[in-house]
Amino acid sequence: MDVASSSEYDQRKHTGHVRGWPRVLGVSALTVAGAAVAVWTDHFLALGVAMLLYSAVEIGSAYVNYHHINRSQEVDDEDPPPPSVGIVMVGYRENPDYWERSLLSIRAACGATRACRLTALVACIDGDDAELDQPMKDTFDLLFAEEDATCDTIAHCHLLPHRGKRHAMVFGFRWLNERCPLPLDYVIVMDSDTYVRSPDAFDALVRCIHRDPKTACATSLLRIFNHDETLLTRIVAARYLYAFLIERGALSAWGCMTCCSGPFSIYRASCLSEALLRDFLQQTYCDQPVGPGDDRHLTLLLLLQGHRARQTAHARAYTETPKTISRFLLQQLRWSRSFYREQTFQVGACGHQSWYLTIVTVYEWLFPLFLLLSLLPFYPFQPSIFTLVRRLVTVAVIVTVRTLALLGLYDGKLSIFYNLLVAPLFFLFLFPTRVLGACTLHMQQWVTSTRAVTARRTPTCWTTASTDSCALATTVLLWNVCLWSAVGWSLWCSLR
């Protein structure tokens, strides 16, 4: 990339921050002032109405996006030459069964896609240990060794020094740019545990952004393949549907979807400039290199340049979710840290995107605070169990409306109603996890163990993340003690 284009890239970043911060801080000040008046005057119902209106706009925007993406899936009558697509797979000591299933799903797509041509596949194994990492390469070489009519995609697997997922991704991007025989139009990124059941998923990702040159990236609808193992996995599976179909679908309608998920997303190759990859690779926080949060950071860097980001429900991919509460909360702790670290970039993106992104940013900042206010049974400073019940009913109504919207618009399965249990899960476990994440942004470890370690049931995950595990358990315990003590005190005062 030449100096002029690199300077233009940096200038657009600066302009985004100059425009974004006044927007976000102004809307935040108005929202906090309105909420403070509502709580102090005991008009908490006004906050509930405001959140219902926000949900209505969100659901309506998601509905518009769903039908907009439907139109993008229509096949052109002219039948133009399919664009060239490369795939970057990133893995680190994956569960062998998940790794093999993921590779088989890609192999099935080679030569079977219609809207694109899968030209090259590069697998980047983030580790070069002969005992732990070589089996992944052996499996790859075995499945893609034969070059026949059903699999003409160029496929290579590389064992890289263990430097983190970002380095592996950038290696894959650059390898495709240098070694691919055809100029690539798009790059699809997949995780090592992700699999797709139909080649249509690749076609759907390509069609999502192919007709709009301003769209630089898009993400799929991510589903959970182990959704029926425990109550927790059922709740998470329902939560994923709402997060992707409603929340990210609404952002997609405005072209400012903030996170192309690592398991299955697509990027316009021309937008992955060296200046952008440099920023992506060299992100630091408190003078420490940042590892987790790669998917959100890469998406926000593209939004900072004024590009659009979309989500399509037609491209469905399947991934794993933790089935124990301990591993799930460790995963959420990592995601919470990433979310708060990326807020400065999201604010900068607000300067180049629609006002809807500004509203969503403020909502994401203040939503945990509003939920906390709903639990405080003080009005003001007078314990009342009746006030608490009224506020909890308001929250329950909002969650029910969201769940019914998801059930009616997108998915007719009754498993959607597990989404109702997300609220108590948040109150009891996720809120303190977010607080801990916001207070420990300087900690960069991956937190959760690899699935290969989990499959062997060794205690490595607890030795490498023991500090986070202890801090998380302590935070959740203290929060629940304070929470239930306040509820008990309110009940006693009300019945006295």
For 234-291, how does the pLDDT look when each residue is reduced to its tens digit (9 = 90+)?
A: 999 999 999 999 999 999 999 999 999 999 999 999 999 999 999 999 999 988 899 8
Residue 300 and residue 154 share a domain: yes
Which residue among 274, 308, 324 closes a domain? 324
181 burial via Cβ count (<10 Å: 0-12, 13-18, 19+) = exposed
Residue 73 lies inside a defined structural domain of this protein: no
Residue 339 lies inside a defined structural domain of this protein: no
Q: Residue 369: which pLDDT band, with cuts at 50, 70 and 90?
A: confident
Residue 407 and residue 259 share a domain: no
Stretch (H or E) spanning 18: helix 3-40
Stretch (H or E) spanning 294: helix 294-304
The pLDDT score that the predictor gives to residue 234 is 95
- 244 closest CA partner among 66, 70, 80: 66
Helical spans, DSSP H, in 351-430: 355-375, 385-409, 422-425
Residue 77 lies inside a defined structural domain of this protein: no
The pLDDT score that the predictor gives to residue 102 is 95
Q: Tell me how long the chain is.
A: 496
Residue 195 lies inside a defined structural domain of this protein: yes
Higher pLDDT, 275 or 179: 275
The pLDDT score that the predictor gives to residue 278 is 94
CA distance 177 to 219: 21
CA distance 303 to 358: 13
Residue 16 and residue 89 share a domain: no
- Into how many domains does the chain fold? 2
The pLDDT score that the predictor gives to residue 453 is 52
Residue 43 lies inside a defined structural domain of this protein: yes
Say how many Å lie between the first and final Cα of the chain, rounded.
Answer: 73
User: Lowest-pLDDT range, 157-161, 266-270, 463-467, 488-492?
Assistant: 463-467
Residue 163 and residue 33 share a domain: no
CA distance 459 to 461: 6
Across the chain, mean pLDDT equals 87
What is the pTM for the complete model shown?
Answer: 0.92
Residue 392 and residue 473 share a domain: yes
Residue 338 lies inside a defined structural domain of this protein: no
Which residue among 281, 307, 324 closes a domain? 324
Strand segments (E) across 254-393: 264-268, 284-285, 288-289, 308-319
Residue 296 lies inside a defined structural domain of this protein: yes
Residue 372 lies inside a defined structural domain of this protein: yes
Q: What are phi and psi of 212, to 5 degrees?
A: -120, 100
CATH number at residue 176: 3.90.550.10
Pairing of strands 215-224, 264-268: antiparallel
Q: Residue 36: which pLDDT band, with cuts at 50, 70 and 90?
A: confident
Residue 57 and residue 93 share a domain: no
CA distance 82 to 46: 52
The pLDDT score that the predictor gives to residue 460 is 44
The pLDDT score that the predictor gives to residue 148 is 46
Residue 141 and residue 113 share a domain: yes
pLDDT, tens digit (0-9, with 9 covering 90-100), for 319-358: 999 999 999 999 999 999 999 999 999 999 999 999 999 9
pLDDT, tens digit (0-9, with 9 covering 90-100), for 419-434: 999 989 998 999 999 9
CA distance 369 to 481: 19
Residue 9 is given by DSSP the state H
Pairing of strands 117-126, 154-160: parallel
Residue 404 and residue 488 share a domain: yes
Which residue among 324, 341, 366 closes a domain? 324
Q: For residue 188, give its domain range.
A: 82-324
Residue 320 and residue 400 share a domain: no
- 305 closest CA partner among 16, 60, 1, 45: 16
Higher pLDDT, 67 or 139: 139
Residue 429 and residue 320 share a domain: no
The pLDDT score that the predictor gives to residue 356 is 96
Residue 452 and residue 359 share a domain: yes
The pLDDT score that the predictor gives to residue 377 is 55
Residue 161 and residue 120 share a domain: yes
The pLDDT score that the predictor gives to residue 494 is 76
CA 207 to chain centre: 21
